């Protein structure tokens, strides 16, 4: 069995809408941090030195 391709949407179950996929390189555009506004609140998504993602309010 082949592993899922990370660039294709995940198949939705009957109770879920399809999930969109965004590559982190496109989101960060060469930077290390992005600000995401959701419902009037800002969140910071950053890449750590260990190449992991951290989301903070």
Does residue 43 sit within a domain? Answer: yes
CA atoms within 13 A on the CB side of 10: 11
CATH number (domain holding residue 28): 2.10.70.10
Return the pLDDT at 16: 78
Does residue 46 sit within a domain? Answer: yes
Range of the domain at 35: 24-56
Model confidence pTM above 0.85 = no
Q: Please tell me the total count of domains within the chain.
A: 1
- Asked if 24 and 53 count as a contact pair (C-beta separation under 8 A), the reply is yes
Mean per-residue pLDDT of the chain: 85
Does residue 50 sit within a domain? Answer: yes
Does residue 2 sit within a domain? Answer: no
Does residue 17 sit within a domain? Answer: no
| Structure tokens belonging to residue 6 | 């990370």
């Amino acid at each position: 069995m082949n592993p899922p391709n990370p660039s294709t949407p995940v198949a939705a179950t009957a109770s879920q809408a399809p999930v969109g996929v965004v590559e982190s390189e496109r989101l960060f555009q060469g930077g290390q941090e992005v600000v995401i506004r959701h419902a009037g609140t800002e969140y910071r998504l950053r890449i750590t030195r260990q190449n992991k993602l951290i989301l903070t309010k």
